[in-house]
């Protein structure tokens, strides 16, 4: 039902290096890089997000836009987002049961991390 979800074994450090290289233009030719960053707004997903070819952008409340991708499934989530050029990245992998009512949703937690890194303050 979930196809390749969880089918790759990696670390947060690996994701951080991969997305840094991808966003920094060190993996794709310029034309494909341009196409990847051509996005359309999303609905019913992350607030202030747009989706491109394998990456998404999220505009944070402070006005900064970060790029990357992530996902969550059955008690585990991983997200990796950073500056357009890939110089600054935030990657997190969390295992836990956030559905018991005692935890904030995983996207909200990661948005707080992004705001702390790219806006210089934590979210509310």
Domain boundary assignment for the chain: 12-118
Beta pairing class for 56-59 and 65-73: antiparallel
Per-residue pLDDT in tens (0 to 9) along the chain, 124 residues: 666 665 667 788 999 999 999 999 999 999 999 999 999 998 877 778 999 998 999 999 999 999 999 877 777 788 899 998 899 999 988 876 655 555 556 677 788 889 999 998 544 4
| DSSP alpha helix (H) spans, the chain | 12-23, 30-36, 106-118
C-alpha 96/C-alpha 104 separation (Å) is 11
Do residues 67 and 59 touch, judged by C-beta distance below 8 A? Answer: no
State the pLDDT at residue 5.
Answer: 61
CA atoms within 13 A on the CB side of 14: 6
Residues 6 or more apart from 12 whose CB is under 8 A from it? 78, 80, 91, 92, 93
């Amino acid at each position: 039902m979930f196809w390749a979800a969880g089918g790759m074994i990696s670390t947060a450090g690996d994701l951080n290096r991969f997305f840094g290289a991808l966003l920094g233009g060190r993996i794709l030719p310029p034309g494909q890089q341009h196409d990847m960053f051509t996005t359309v707004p999303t609905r019913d997903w992350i607030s202030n997000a747009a989706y491109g070819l394998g990456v998404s952008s999220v505009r944070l409340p402070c006005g900064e836009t970060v790029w990357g991708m992530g996902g969550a499934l059955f008690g585990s989530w991983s997200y990796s987002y950073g500056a357009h050029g890939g110089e600054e990245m935030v990657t997190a992998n969390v295992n836990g049961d956030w559905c018991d009512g005692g935890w904030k949703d995983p996207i909200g937690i990661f948005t707080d991390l992004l705001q702390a890194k790219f806006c210089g303050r934590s979210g509310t």
